[in-house]
Amino acid sequence: MKTKFSAFIAFLLMMCVLLSSCTSNLPDNSGNDSIATPEKTQPELFEEFLELDFIDYALSNTLILKQLMQEPANFGITGYEASWGDLSPYPSEDYLQKIEEQIAKFRTFDRSKLTPEQQESYDIYAYDVALYEEVNQNYFYYDDPFQSNSGFHSMLPITMSEYTFDRERDIQDYLLLVSKFGELFDMLIQFEKDKSEKGLFMADWIADAVIGECNSFLQKSTDNIMLTSFESRIGKVDFLDDAKKASYIAENRTIFADIVIPTYNKLKTELASLKGTGKNDGGLAGFEKGKDYYRAYLKQLGISKTPEELIALADAEFAAISNKIAEIIQGNPSVLDAYELPFVPELTAEKTVQFWKEKTAADFPSLPDGVTYTLKTIDDTLKDSVAPAFYFIPRMDNYMVNSIYYNPDSAATSPETLFFTLAHEAYPGHLLQKVNVLASSLPNYRKATSYTGYSEGWAQYIESYCHKYMDAGESLKQIKILEKEYDYVLALRLDLGLNYEGWTLEQMTDYIVKNLPGAAQLSASDLNPQYEYYVRNAMKIVPYVAGMYEIRDLNARYKVLLADEYSDLKFHEEFLKRGEAPFALIKLWMDNAFSKDAA
């Protein structure tokens, strides 16, 4: 969930941690000017630089602060004002100047004089600087806060439902933020209007889908997640009496009725008024700089491969997977009989997570002692507009407490999918990946850094990897894995075709009919739902599938390098311990580490 809410815009997304350190509430440790102090070393100065950068990011708005920290004082923050930050879609001249000053300051550091761990942080920061300088002037209007089916309008209520009440101040801050929903959405609506003027507004059918999701949210006006979650959280606090709790509940209901509902209604109205101004009904490639934006976005995800390399990979894997499935069936025809039998045990969601913790323990680092997690069902209001499951990143000073959401309908409609999805979201997926870093000695800058190719690539890698633990024959396990990967690779190829190569619905249909067994009778109208999904959720699948293949490339590389010294546990520990980073840098760092081991 790491993003700068003072606009869901490409420019600001690039600036996740690259923020000016000109203002912070860190304590002044400079001492008396009349007392001589030793000159600080480059490592000491760089450590301060990263920490100030992190603190400024945390202070950029109160929701980010709350997501990152339970006790701001633990990070030297002694005071702050609750706000959404700068409610303008565009950075001011002062803001841009501070960023340029921050970049200039960064460039004064000599990488060779830093510690090995700091050199890795330096590499990440340098990567971010290069990305900022590429994206800032070119793709400002190419991101969209609402277009995805897990857009701002869908995810904000869930994010607010995780806003914890550790003290009365938190309740007051929460109510203030919700009371400002109108201003927050007005900023994003203005951005949509500016996109419209430039011919970059979403297609009419996408606007209709967003409006429909707003309607679903508004239909639950009395038992909405913004009401029920607030009342559940406030009911559990022990620092308020019943009268005070009732007062805050009433205040929240008033704000919901007077602010939240009108805000979502306004969003519907404004989006409807902009219909007809979009110039592109297809994928990203239909925009003037769409293909270049796709390339830049791959870098933002941390993917090292180009679109052309991913196309070649997808085409090759697509053919290879089909051949492998055919070979397995030819060599063991009885596997088709076993295919119809239940593949996963019938377990509750809670017992499924425990199953994965026990089965995978030998191949992955363990969770720190005391780590807990709560499985929560996705609210009915949002089931149709968010992912079927997701992991909510814990606060850095309270990483022992974790939340995992899942759609309970999946348990009935697709128990096998949910079974592996919980490995993806919990252990050894996102839960392990994130807690492993938060419990480490890495600087806060690194703990807050986000590269989706790394995180989602890891979780997708886990889904396939975990098939090995099933109580089934090897042929069946291989077919199950290949079947999943067939879908993943097809999804990647369709995204590249529609959003990078500019395929039409008819071209997408031709590709599927020619390449999918049994698809010869499918028409364009049959495949229109798939077309709309990949257009609306451009590049959403890329970090999962491309990231998974990046990790597999690393794995194959180090199996050769380490030979008899290789183990999956060793590889997983080495990959996870550095936190999220671009794959090109991960490869460089792991080369150095494993080369020493192999020597």
Summarised one tens digit per residue, pLDDT across range 68-95 is 999 999 999 988 999 998 888 888 888 8
Q: Does the pLDDT value for residue 236 go beyond 80?
A: yes
pLDDT digits (tens, 9 = 90+) for 35-66: 455 789 999 999 999 999 999 999 989 999 99
What is the distance between the alpha carbons of residues 256 and 263, in angstroms, rounded to a whole number? 10
- What local confidence, expressed as pLDDT, does residue 6 receive? 31
Q: Percentage of residues in the chain with pLDDT exceeding 70?
A: 91
What is the distance between the alpha carbons of residues 451 and 254, in angstroms, rounded to a whole number? 39
- What local confidence, expressed as pLDDT, does residue 286 receive? 96
- What value does the mean pLDDT of the chain take? 89
346-472 CATH: 3.30.2010
Q: Percentage of residues in the chain with pLDDT exceeding 90?
A: 77
Q: Does the pLDDT value for residue 548 go beyond 70?
A: yes
Q: Could you give the count of Cα atoms lying within 13 Å of 336 in the half-sphere of its Cβ?
A: 9
Residue 411 confidence class, pLDDT cut points 50, 70, 90: low
CB contact set of 84 (below 8 Å; sequence gap of 6+): 5, 6, 61, 62, 63, 177, 180, 183, 184
Single-letter amino acid, residue 377: T
- What local confidence, expressed as pLDDT, does residue 389 receive? 79
Q: Could you give the count of Cα atoms lying within 13 Å of 113 in the half-sphere of its Cβ?
A: 11
If we measure between CA atoms, which residue out of 469, 346, 481 comes closest to residue 411?
346
- What local confidence, expressed as pLDDT, does residue 340 receive? 85
Q: Does the pLDDT value for residue 429 go beyond 90?
A: yes
Single-letter amino acid, residue 239: F
The SS3 call for residue 58 is: helix
pLDDT mean over 230-243: 96
Q: Does the pLDDT value for residue 29 go beyond 90?
A: no
Residue 594 confidence class, pLDDT cut points 50, 70, 90: confident
What is the distance between the alpha carbons of residues 62 and 73, in angstroms, rounded to a whole number? 14
Q: Are 522 and 499 in contact (CB under 8 A)?
A: no
Q: Does the pLDDT value for residue 549 go beyond 90?
A: yes
Q: Does the pLDDT value for residue 381 go beyond 70?
A: no
What is the distance between the alpha carbons of residues 275 and 206, in angstroms, rounded to a whole number? 10
- What local confidence, expressed as pLDDT, does residue 384 receive? 61
* β strands within 360-497, DSSP E: 372-377, 389-392, 401-406
pLDDT mean over 244-267: 98
310's torsion region: left (phi>0), alpha (psi -120 to 50) or beta? Answer: alpha
Q: Does the pLDDT value for residue 599 go beyond 80?
A: no
Residue 104 burial (10 A CB sphere; 0-12, 13-18, 19+): exposed
* Tokens of residue 549, six digits: 């293949």
* Tokens of residue 384, six digits: 């149709």
CB contact set of 505 (below 8 Å; sequence gap of 6+): 524, 527, 528, 531
> What pTM was estimated for this model as a whole?
0.90
Per-residue buried b or exposed e for 570-587, using 16+ beta carbons within 10 Å of the residue's own CB: ebbebbbebbbbbbebbb
Q: Are 425 and 404 in contact (CB under 8 A)?
A: yes
- What local confidence, expressed as pLDDT, does residue 14 receive? 32
Distant-in-sequence contacts of 505-512, Cβ < 8 A, 24+ apart: 505/531
**Least confident among 24-38, 208-222, 404-418, 539-553:** 24-38
Peptide bond into 428 cis (omega under 30): yes
* Tokens of residue 141, six digits: 């209007």
Residue 145 confidence class, pLDDT cut points 50, 70, 90: very high
Q: Are 432 and 404 in contact (CB under 8 A)?
A: no
SS (H, E, C) 185-210: HHHHHHHHHHHHHCCCCCCHHHHHHH
What is the distance between the alpha carbons of residues 44 and 25, in angstroms, rounded to a whole number? 19
Domain boundaries, the chain: 1-28+38-143, 145-279, 285-338+475-540, 346-472
**Least confident among 11-25, 317-331, 535-549, 555-569:** 11-25
pLDDT digits (tens, 9 = 90+) for 273-321: 999 999 999 999 999 999 999 999 999 999 999 999 999 999 999 889 9
**Least confident among 48-57, 133-142, 233-242:** 133-142
pLDDT digits (tens, 9 = 90+) for 2-15: 333 233 333 333 33
